[in-house]
Amino acid sequence: MSEKAERRALIRIAIELKPAVTVGAAGLTPGVLEELQRALRDHELIKIRFNVVDREKRRATAAQLAEQLDAELIQRVGKTIVLYRPNHDADARLSNISRNSGD
């Protein structure tokens, strides 16, 4: 599967997801980063919502998050981003990828 096709498949899965975490005015606190690490480990593909008005700050924070979490920024739409980090040891019952692989 090409990289472009894989990205489209991940976006299709992400459409149905609810945000795992909301990043508020306090920004990337240790608690937020810890929860994002857990969510990526369990689910592999997650949606994150920003309650930040400034578009450039959201864009910079999204890039910073992807780098800090060693994840790929799959999509950015408005105040929502989608991150993906594969985990070959993920529990199939929790993984958004495993649950949707039969689609």
Domains contained in the chain, CATH given = 3-98 (3.30.110.60)
Tell me what the pLDDT averaged over the chain comes to: 90
Percent of the chain residues topping a pLDDT of 90:
65
CA atoms of 20 and 102, how far apart (whole Å): 23
Encode the chain (103 residues) as per-residue pLDDT tens digits. Answer: 688 999 999 999 999 999 999 988 787 889 989 999 999 999 999 999 999 888 998 999 899 999 999 999 999 999 999 999 999 888 888 999 877 765 4
* pTM of this structure: 0.91
